[in-house]
């Protein structure tokens, strides 16, 4: 039996000259195993990167450990976890099962290769995760197995980290909106972060646990730290923006995602999935739109077009039909978002292939341009998409339908449609990330009420919008206008002043000129 030793491997220093630079700066962990020497070092690198969701980089390290020590069971355990995002609603078992099968053909034989009870516990948990049961049962079973391991080894930091993540995975699988598991996962991750502020999983899982408007302040310290812990991994540079966006910290949202995009682009090779790169440019564009940098927002769109073209999606290349559809969806999403956020209104072609966010952007454009024909066409197309039962499509249909009826003079019916949209929104998870739909429901409702000369009612909607998505400029603008219309001049001045801070340097914006004129007239003193 290989000797067991306690390894504390700090990956910020001490790597051999042959180690690739991409594996520097990934954090520090304590993960004793029955392996030794270079196999253990590669394993530690792999787990550290795995905690930051650097799948490709982590797999390379686990493969290196396997080559040195083909019977090192945890190297195959780690590889099996490096093929899927653990927080998506579905996971593909194909590659994880292949990885485990290379260790040994049967579950019993694989467990026999794990020389300690603790290592058997880790391996047993992924045997459940990648087993034959239905998806939700596997994810919940994995969490329960990690809970048992945590009960056995409550002081083990890696058991704690992976138990925390398993709870978040169960939330993703079950759709549990109670926040009970999030709080449990976050409390464990926070304690681990307190003990080791350089642990990548501790910071990462704290952020995921508290990724909503109410609890985001609990993760702010972890957000500041995470990008510095593991700058070698694109996702680690991006992930803090999940919390920054909840605080309306638009410059950090832009900057962190630029950094994440740079890291992803450096590692990307033709034929790779676009994952980290697309994610970064999606969030980066949203951040730049909020801070009024529309030129940079267009740069993100150009980058996406280039990535799609290089990967062969535009001509139906190697990634297949699913990849083509995802790429087209991302391209159209960034375009629709740009139209809505900049209010550079544009009627997009309405076809059988139109996506819901494109139809929403077209509906808003048509409403603002007084084009009832295209507004009706967008509403009709959205009504068909809403029949699928998808809540997001239902919401966008009701938004556009409300605009159509408001334009027809049916104000009461328009507000009833918005009430229905609000009801659906309130059954869903709190907002995180870029606005979804691209025009937030409460913000549009407030604007509609302003159009209907009901500014007092509009104030409540804009305030709710800003509670859900702090410091969104369009909601601040609406709030300022609604307060000004009701002669709440102090509140109007406060909202206008916030807007001018966010859009500093963009004096050409009509809204900026409006805000500055009001503040000069009101003689506002911050």
For residue range 230-275, list pLDDT tens digits in order: 999 999 999 999 999 999 999 999 999 999 999 888 877 666 666 6
The per-residue pLDDT for 523 is 65
Residue 511 DSSP one-character state: H
User: For residue 10, which phi and psi values (nearest 5 degrees)?
Assistant: -95, 115
The per-residue pLDDT for 177 is 87
Lowest average pLDDT, out of 148-162, 307-321, 358-372, 377-391, goes to: 307-321
Q: What CA–CA distance (Å, rounded) separates 243 from 432? A: 9
Percent of the chain whose predicted confidence (pLDDT) is above 70: 91
Let me know the angle formed at the C-alpha of 32 by 68 and 81, rounded to the nearest 5 degrees.
Answer: 65
**How sure is the predictor about 317, in pLDDT bands with cuts at 50, 70 and 90?**
very low
363: burial class by Cβ within 10 Å (0-12, 13-18, 19+)?
buried
Q: What CA–CA distance (Å, rounded) separates 390 from 227? A: 35
DSSP string, 37-106: HHHHHHHHHHHHHHHTT-HHHHHHHHHHHHHH-TT-HHHHHHHHTSSS-TTSS----HHHHHHHHHH-SS
Calculate the alpha carbon distances from 316 to 242, 313, 319 in Å.
32, 5, 8
Q: Which helix H or strand E contains 34, and what residues bound it? A: none
Q: Which helix H or strand E contains 327, and what residues bound it? A: helix 320-342
Q: What CA–CA distance (Å, rounded) separates 48 from 26? A: 6
Q: What CA–CA distance (Å, rounded) separates 254 from 35? A: 42
State pTM to two decimals: 0.89
- 256: nearest Cα among 273, 42, 233: 233
Q: CB–CB of 243/216 below 8 Å? A: yes
**What confidence tens digit (pLDDT) does each residue in 437-457 have?**
999 999 999 999 999 999 999
pLDDT at 24 over 80: no
**What confidence tens digit (pLDDT) does each residue in 37-57 have?**
999 999 999 999 999 999 999
Q: Which residues, 6+ apart, have CB-to-CB distance to 429 below 8 Å?
A: 177, 212
**What confidence tens digit (pLDDT) does each residue in 267-310 have?**
776 666 666 778 899 999 999 999 999 999 999 999 988 877 77
Max Cα separation, the chain?
81
179: burial class by Cβ within 10 Å (0-12, 13-18, 19+)?
middle
């Amino acid at each position: 039996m290989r000797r067991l030793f306690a390894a504390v491997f700090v990956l910020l220093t001490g790597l051999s000259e042959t180690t690739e630079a991409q594996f520097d700066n990934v954090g520090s962990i304590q993960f004793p195993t029955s392996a030794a020497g270079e196999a253990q070092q590669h394993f530690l690198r792999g787990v550290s990167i795995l905690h930051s969701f650097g799948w490709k980089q982590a797999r390379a390290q686990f493969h290196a450990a396997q080559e040195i020590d083909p019977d090192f069971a945890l190297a195959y355990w780690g590889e099996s976890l490096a093929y899927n995002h653990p927080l998506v609603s579905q996971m593909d078992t194909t590659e994880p099962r292949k990885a485990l099968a290379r260790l040994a053909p049967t579950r019993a034989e694989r467990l026999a290769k794990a020389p300690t009870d603790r290592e058997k516990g880790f391996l047993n948990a992924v045997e459940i995760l990648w087993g034959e049961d239905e998806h939700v049962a596997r994810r919940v079973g994995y969490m329960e197995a990690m809970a048992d391991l945590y009960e056995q080894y409550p002081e083990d930091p890696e058991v704690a980290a992976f138990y925390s993540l398993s709870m978040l995975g169960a939330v993703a699988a079950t759709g549990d909106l109670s926040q009970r598991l999030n709080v449990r996962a976050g409390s464990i991750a926070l304690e681990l972060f307190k003990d080791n502020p350089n642990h990548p999983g501790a910071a990462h899982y704290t952020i995921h646990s508290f990724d909503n408007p109410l609890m985001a302040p609990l993760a702010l310290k972890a957000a500041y730290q995470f990008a510095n812990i593991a700058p070698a991994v694109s996702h680690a540079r991006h992930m803090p923006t999940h919390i920054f966006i909840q605080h309306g910290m638009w410059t950090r949202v832009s900057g962190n995602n630029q950094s994440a995009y740079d890291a992803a682009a450096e590692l990307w090779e033709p034929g790779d999935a676009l994952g980290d790169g697309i994610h970064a440019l999606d969030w980066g564009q949203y951040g730049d739109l909020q801070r009024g940098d529309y030129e940079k927002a267009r740069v993100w769109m150009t980058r996406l077009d280039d990535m799609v073209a290089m990967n062969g999606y535009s001509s139906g290349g190697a990634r297949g039909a699913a990849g083509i559809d995802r790429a087209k969806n991302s391209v159209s999403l960034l375009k629709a978002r740009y139209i809505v956020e900049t209010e550079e209104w544009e009627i997009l072609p309405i076809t059988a292939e139109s996506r819901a966010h494109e139809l929403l952007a077209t509906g808003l454009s048509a409403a603002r341009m007084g084009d009832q024909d295209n507004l009706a066409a967008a509403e009709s197309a959205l009504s068909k998409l809403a029949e699928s039962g998808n809540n997001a499509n239902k919401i966008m249909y009701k938004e556009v339908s409300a605009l159509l009826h408001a334009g027809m003079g049916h104000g009461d019916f328009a507000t009833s449609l918005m009430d229905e949209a609000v009801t659906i929104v309130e059954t869903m998870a709190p907002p995180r990330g870029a606005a979804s739909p691209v025009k937030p429901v409460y913000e549009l409702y407030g604007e509609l009420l302003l159009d209907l000369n009901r500014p007092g009612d509009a104030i409540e909607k804009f305030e709710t919008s800003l509670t859900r998505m702090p410091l969104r400029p369009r909601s601040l603008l609406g709030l300022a206008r609604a307060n000004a219309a009701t002669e709440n001049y102090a509140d109007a001045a406060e909202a206008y002043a916030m807007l001018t801070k966010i859009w500093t340097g963009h004096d050409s914006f009509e809204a900026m000129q409006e805000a500055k004129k009001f503040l000069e007239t009101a003689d506002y003193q911050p």
